[in-house]
Amino acid sequence: MRTHLPGVRDVRPARRLLRAAFAPFWVVPALWCLASVALGLVLPEIDEDVASWMPILFGGGPEGARTVLSSIAGAMISVTTLVFSITIVVLQLAASQFSPRVLGTFLEDRVTQHTLGVFAATFLYSLTVLRSIVDTETSTVPQLAVTVSYLLVLAAVAMFLAYIHHITEAIAVGTIVRRTGAETRALLERTLARRPAHPVEPTASHLPGEHVVTAGHSGHLDLVDVAPLVDVARRNDVRVDVLHALGTFVPSGAPLAVVRGTTPGADDDTSRLVRRHLHLSHERTLQQDVSFGVRRLVDIAERALSPGINDPTTAVQVVDQLHDLLRRAAAAADPAGVEGDEDGVARVELRPHRFADLLDLAVDEVAHWGADSIQVPPRLEAMLVDLRAAARREHRAAIEAKLAAVARLS
């Protein structure tokens, strides 16, 4: 029976490519702009065929149409600049007040992207339709096209109001903490749901023909394609040991994995195939790395506990989210970190983050910087006491040690 490491098979290549295609901030606004230009070219051409059976359309002449479209274009580019300026201010505020690691949440926000897209699209649509209006005696006004420009203005106003409401809520510290916790919790639940019932036991590490696979470029180990990696190992009858945990920074040329059991002459080809399925990224993400979500939460708590901000209540809100995450992790067994093929042979070994690792990451820094706070140490102790009651037996020693360490700090 083939088993698999949790949290990795849900990131399928097609889904990952689609996500990567829409990840840049400019993609959604660009699609809006392309659609608006196409609409601005098509509607004037079909206007005569459609306008005859549509009673409520623009009824002015060429000069009136040009005035309307020019006014819309000028107003839309001004408001687009305003929306962009607001977005930049929000990004600066989030980076300085909370953590630079939360900027990805704002850049991926679809409301902001669609708002900029609607305004830019209305501007380009108005200019595109404007070029179709000629001042001749036989010329006709594209009534449908001009009317659609007015409808786009109404949509833009609605989006602007929704954007102001959304951005006001988005910069609230409670919203940022809850959203970060929810994203991390969703990834953790996917990870736990895909944990195999009968994990493959690791085999001896020393096999003939070891070959080290080095990193082609520097970056954080952000994603591991386990299923294709198992297929590569099975076809070549080798075992692949990934040397780093998710989120680890790997310099260019540093060891990335070890392929054990290789045959002479196959090293280069195997290295190329293995390297293809170990993705190094310039920035960490929440595609597979639960520890990055915990890292983001801890960063917010540390910034809140800094002397310049001195907001222990925010740190307690972060501990609330960490409590929920750790309680779910404490109730589950640690991952084996071994992936097998159809015959149950261990083919890929990884370095998964275990409960003790997440506990250290979640507690140590918050306890250190919040030791002088009245709120933080009692909240951490209450969290650890609850975790001790809910945790599996193998996790309780780590929780007891952490509880004693927090008690010493307070």
pLDDT tens for the chain, 410 residues long, are: 344 433 333 345 666 677 667 678 889 999 999 999 999 999 888 876 666 665 556 666 778 888 889 999 999 998 888 888 888 888 787 777 777 777 777 777 888 899 999 999 999 999 999 888 876 555 677 888 888 899 999 999 999 999 888 888 888 888 889 999 999 999 999 888 876 544 566 555 556 668 889 998 999 999 998 888 988 888 888 889 999 999 999 999 999 999 987 665 556 777 888 899 999 998 888 889 999 999 999 999 999 999 888 899 999 999 999 999 999 999 999 888 888 888 778 889 999 999 999 999 999 999 999 999 999 999 999 999 999 999 999 999 999 999 999 988 76
Nearest to 236 by CA among 202, 266, 205, 203: 266
Q: What is the CA radius of gyration of the chain?
A: 28
**Which pLDDT belongs to residue 11?**
43
For residue 6, how far is the Cα from the chain centroid?
18
Nearest to 43 by CA among 134, 147, 138: 147
Which residues, 6+ apart, have CB-to-CB distance to 312 below 8 Å? Answer: 304, 305, 370, 373, 374, 375, 376
Distance CA 44, CA 131 (A): 10
Cα torsion at 341, 193, 293, 242 (round to 10°)? -10
**Which pLDDT belongs to residue 10?**
39
Nearest to 170 by CA among 226, 78, 120, 97: 97
| DSSP state, residue 333 | P
Asked whether the CA dihedral 376, 377, 381, 387 is positive or negative, the reply is positive
The answer to whether 278 and 242 are in contact (CB under 8 A) is yes
Enter the tokens of residue 181: 């916790």
The answer to whether 297 and 303 are in contact (CB under 8 A) is no
H-type helices in 23-142, by residue range? Answer: 27-51, 62-97, 103-107, 110-130
| Largest Cα–Cα separation, the chain | 90
The pair phi, psi for residue 48, each rounded to 5°, is -65, -35
Please classify residue 86 by burial: count the beta carbons closer than 10 Å to its beta carbon, then call 0-12 exposed, 13-18 middle and 19+ buried: middle
The answer to whether 331 and 371 are in contact (CB under 8 A) is no
Distance CA 395, CA 382 (A): 17
Distance CA 292, CA 230 (A): 25
**Which pLDDT belongs to residue 279?**
92
| DSSP state, residue 58 | -
The pair phi, psi for residue 282, each rounded to 5°, is -70, -25
The pair phi, psi for residue 223, each rounded to 5°, is -155, 140
Report pTM: 0.79
The answer to whether 339 and 314 are in contact (CB under 8 A) is no
Nearest to 147 by CA among 54, 63, 35: 54
